[in-house]
Amino acid sequence: MTPLPRLAILLSGRGSNMEAIVREVQGGILQGVCEVAVVVSNEPEAAGLGVADALGVPTIVEPSRGRPRSAFGEALLEALDPFSPDLLVLAGFMLVLPPGVVRAYAHRIVNIHPADTRLHRGLHGYAWAWENQLPETRITVHWVDEGLDTGPVIAQAPVDLRQARDLAEVERRGLAVEHRFYSEVLRGLFTGTGSRSD
Ligand code: GAR
């Protein structure tokens, strides 16, 4: 049997996107499509580590704080190596990856961003949509290059924000789309089907 493509999921915090992907791998639209080899956090206290652990996925911590970027990048590459990932999946990973990592995994890193990356890059994508009273925002899954959310867009999904009462509701609606959409896009990358880009 051909081995399935292996994901390394990188996060820094809560890990709800990671959880959604692992659940799809374990019993949903990603079952038999790919496997999650490891979950990596640059934050030792990230809640997502416990979530991954409870789901039976190996975890590693590679701290980024107080370390030169290049040293972090080298340590991350070394830590990833034994897991032989085919694709790095950034899911709430709140750092710009060091250039050495981007080069080592060229065209093999994807990210999810809670806004249209052509309109808003960096942090606080939902606060930006809320403050600007947008009727709709667009979740973006894109390839990762050396910039901050500058890589080529793979697919986008709309989030209806009309009548949202507060930022918490904007986030809730957005995350519901993210959780479904990221796995759909991954499935599309591996099988050539199943991703929406409306
Ligand atoms: C998600 O909304 C993700 O799109 C966003 O952080 C959140 C992580 O949540 N990412 C970015 O803003 C990256 N620029 P999670 O840890 O529960 O998946």
pLDDT band at 195 (very low <50, low <70, confident <90, very high): very low
The pLDDT value given to residue 197: 44
pTM of the model: 0.96
Each residue of 104-136: pLDDT tens digit? Answer: 999 999 999 999 999 999 999 999 999 999 999
Residue with the smallest CA separation from ligand 1 atom 9 is: 92
- Per-residue pLDDT of 160-188, as tens digits, reads 999 999 999 999 999 999 999 999 999 99
Query: What is the arrangement of strands in the sheet containing 136-143, beginning at the earlier edge strand?
Result: 59-61, 35-41, 6-11, 87-90, 109-113, 136-143, 153-160
Q: Which atom of ligand 1 is nearest to 19's Cα?
A: 18
Model confidence at 193: pLDDT above 80: no
Evaluate whether 25 touches 34 at the Cβ level (below 8 Å): yes
Please choose from 18, 144, 178 the residue to mutate so as to test ligand 1's pocket, defined by most ligand atoms within 8 A of CB.
Answer: 178
Binding-site residues, ligand 1, Cβ < 6 A: 11, 13-17, 48, 91-92, 112-114, 123, 125, 149, 175, 178
As a whole number, mean pLDDT of residues 17-43 equals 98
113 is catalytic: yes
Can you tell me which atom of ligand 1 is nearest the CA of 175?
2
pLDDT at 47: 98
**Cα 12 to middle of ligand 1, angstroms:** 9
pLDDT in tens, 63-102: 999 999 999 999 999 999 999 999 999 999 999 999 999 9
pLDDT of residue 2: 85
Where in the chain are the domains?
6-191
Which tokens hold the place of 120?
A: 């808003």
Superfamily for the 6-191 domain: Formyl transferase, N-terminal domain (3.40.50.170)
Q: What is the mean pLDDT of residues 130-154?
A: 97
pLDDT at 150 (0 to 100): 94
Q: Is the per-residue pLDDT at 22 higher than 50?
A: yes
Average pLDDT over residues 142-146: 97
Instruction: Please give the mean pLDDT across all residues of the chain.
Output: 96
**Are the CB atoms for 86 and 108 separated by under 8 Å?**
yes
For residues 75, 9, 101, 2, the Cα torsion angle rounded to the nearest 10 degrees is 110
Question: Can you give the pLDDT at residue 196?
Answer: 44
